Amino acid sequence: MACGWYEGQLKSWLSGYKFHHQTRYQAALQQVIVHQWTQYLLHKHTAPDIAVLMPLHTTRLVNRGFNQVNQTWQCCIDPYLTSKISLLRTHNTKAQSNLTGIQRRKNTRDAFEVKGVMTGLKVAIVDDVITTGATMNAAAQACLDAGALQVDAIATALTPLHR
């Protein structure tokens, strides 16, 4: 599920917030997210058991000063978060924005680890942008390896691949 395409205003808001910490865009992003999350829950037969935020590596978190996914999605997914289970980024991967699809898959291979047990759980992984799906697929594989029954990909925006 994505709130919209990574273009136009949504792209401007996400880029401004994520890369330039223009906090004025946070409220606009949250309005879009709340609306789409509500629609997602209404159209699913069952809500996820837990949600996990796409983690930043500690080095990137320190350099950026915040996790934009946490800041924008916290308002919706807080009831689905648990301190007993988390998704960790174990490798300080290169920024994905300038990599090809093949490079992205190689860059994120084995980059994630799950702390805790997901056996039999329906998991929602939340990220800001899905471009090729390499990061989301690597994170989802870590969740499946930890026993998740189902993994849903949730994002603020999806990059149109063939436009």
pLDDT (tens digit, 0 to 9) for every residue of the chain, 163 residues total?
999 999 999 999 999 998 888 889 999 999 999 999 998 888 876 789 999 998 877 777 777 777 888 889 988 888 888 888 889 888 666 566 676 666 766 666 777 899 999 999 999 999 999 988 889 999 999 999 999 999 999 999 999 876 5
Domain ranges (residues) in the chain:
2-158
Q: How many CB atoms lie within 10 A of CB 83?
A: 7
CATH 3.40.50 fits 2-158, yes or no: yes
In terms of DSSP H, where are the helices of the chain? 8-20, 24-43, 58-64, 68-77, 101-108, 134-145
Q: The pTM is what? A: 0.84
